[in-house]
Amino acid sequence: MIRKLADDVNAGVIEGIRDLRDESDRDGIRVVIELKQGANAELVENQLLQHHLEVTFGVINLALVDGRPQVLDLKETLMAYLDHRREVVRRRSAFELEEKRARAHILEGRLKALEMIDAVVATIRNSNDRTEAQSALRGEVAIEVDVEPVPTFDFSEEQAAHIVAMQLGSLTAMEAADIEDEYERIVARIERLETILGDPAELDGVVRSELLALRESYASERRTTIIEDDGVVTHEDLIAEEDVVVVVTEDDYLKRMPLSTFSAQQRGGKGIIGTGLKDDDQVASVYIASTHDYLLYFTSHGKIHQLKTYEVPEVSRTARGKSAVNLLDLEADEEITAVVNTSDLDPESQQFLTMVTADGYIKRTHVDAFQHIYGRGIIATRLGEGDALVDVEITTGDSDIIVGTAGGMAIRFAETEVRAMGRTARGVHAIQLSSGDHVVGVTHTNGDDDVQILSVTERGYGKRTPIAAYRAQSRYGKGLIDIKTDARNGAVTAICAVDGSEDLVVMSREGQLMRTRVGEISSVGRNTKGVVVMRIDEPDEVAAVALAASDH
């Protein structure tokens, strides 16, 4: 095993191992595996399980049940064994009952003979032979005896034969007492056996007690451990779980990079190159996700597609990634318009996918409607002509929704004002838009007063404002001024709810990426300009933002 393991390490099949040592001795097998600095121990363990330490094999439990061959599962095997043990106990008890009854019959004859012992002895002594004596004891022939009163015998054939064969020593008073004790024990045993054979619950009790006795007799410390089945090692188990940056371009090129590639900078920096782009392509959106998360891709056709984050190719900062048509079954004119990452969509939970469109429509659909997302995708929402899905949030049904527009307006209303709808519904109005304005994003809050709304504009400016500054309104109002969108700021690119502990990832259309701390962005009131978050050189502009857990 160690030689094969070493060969796989040298061949690169298993990564992260620095050294192997065999420390086996008379006490048992011990193999020490030392990992390289920074290696993922769980990932190495999964690789070892897949290639060396775990063997999967099938078992066909073919058995004869009632004379017929059957393939049994574990429960059926155990039930068949219990039926077998019941039959064993039943047959054994019936056999023993027959023996005990026969013995009780003999003892009854002996006790009866002891009561008239003088007449029995005289009859046997006056008989010509054993046969005549047995016939006399059965009452078939009469033998003259000098005993008063004259006895009348009606012993059975078995009793008569036993009495004739008795020795004189068995006629003592002590022997008589022993016979009476044995007879009482046998009668009690007969009653017990009849109970076992007549009551299934008593029979099962015997089976159980015997199984417990077997366990007690043969119990030894288990050398293996029975654990809940985690399934076989999958491809996902061989992928290190880490946070990554997922970039989507307007031409639907996808890529992922480790989030650790980008260190947090002070607010106002220019960032570093986050992706390479082909001619005339631009960054459309950026997301933070775990490699084991599901990415839900919403398209211009109102469909939803599903992909594991690790299925997005991991490439360098300067690479442009892979076309989505090679990863998702998109139609010719279908484009990705929004992405949501989630670790799980639990149909038993109170979770909804809340979607907003550029024209100001909003809809909520319970997550159980998205449990089976097929290869070609499924309908997520119906879109009006010229409308587009721009953002999606996972909400809990009792949140406050905040919808932001490119013109710097924001409206806050209760999530319950938007009834849950089916996948094919268009939705209802969320906000009254001014001429030329459109929705850019949606976020939500569960009423935490510490929550702030972070707004980021095309020119790289942004601000935080306490949620209390956004009074709740009815759905389909004009909203409140969130941030000024003059020539310096440009239009709003994104809004999101923050608490100040996160890191903000900002990406420009030309591929510059900057990571900074949300806490460094000023907290001010509504209807203000904000501060520089990322320096943008014209004609570049902010394409998208995402939130990540801070590494500080």
Write the DSSP string, 162-214: HHHH--GGGGSHHHHHHHHHHHHHHHHHHHHHHHHHH-HHHHHHHHHHHHHHH
* Distances, alpha carbon 17 to alpha carbons 24, 55, 199, 232, 423, in Å: 19, 21, 64, 22, 49
Write the DSSP string, 140-162: SS----S-SSPP-----HHHHHH
Domains of the chain: 2-53 (3.30.1360.40), 68-216 (1.10.268.10), 243-548 (2.120.10.90)
Give the model's pLDDT for residue 26. Answer: 86
Q: Tokens at residue 144, please?
A: 């003259």
| CA 288 – CA 506 distance, rounded (Å) | 11
| CA 161 – CA 157 distance, rounded (Å) | 6
Name residue, tokens 């048992």: 28
Q: Tokens at residue 273, please?
A: 């190159």
For residues 448 and 499, the answer to whether their CB atoms sit within 8 Å is yes
For residues 294 and 251, the answer to whether their CB atoms sit within 8 Å is no
Low-confidence residues of the chain, pLDDT below 50? Answer: none
> Per residue in 455-492, is it b (16+ CB within 10 Å) or e — as a string?
bbbbbbbbbbbebebbeebebbeebbebbbbeeebbbb
Residue 226 CB contacts under 8 Å (≥ 6 apart), including other chains: none
**H helix count then E strand count, the chain:** 8, 28
Question: 122: closest CA among 104, 96, 149?
Answer: 149
| CA 456 – CA 439 distance, rounded (Å) | 14
Question: 287: closest CA among 129, 496, 1?
Answer: 496
Question: 489: closest CA among 523, 456, 521?
Answer: 456
For residues 145 and 151, the answer to whether their CB atoms sit within 8 Å is yes
Q: Tokens at residue 396, please?
A: 């809990």
Residue 318 CB contacts under 8 Å (≥ 6 apart), including other chains: 273, 275, 276
Question: 462: closest CA among 488, 423, 425?
Answer: 488
> Per residue in 234-266, is it b (16+ CB within 10 Å) or e — as a string?
eeebbbeeebbbbbbbbbbbbbbbebeebebbe
Give the model's pLDDT for residue 194. Answer: 95
| CA 394 – CA 366 distance, rounded (Å) | 10
CB count within 10 Å of CB 185 equals: 13
Give the model's pLDDT for residue 233. Answer: 59
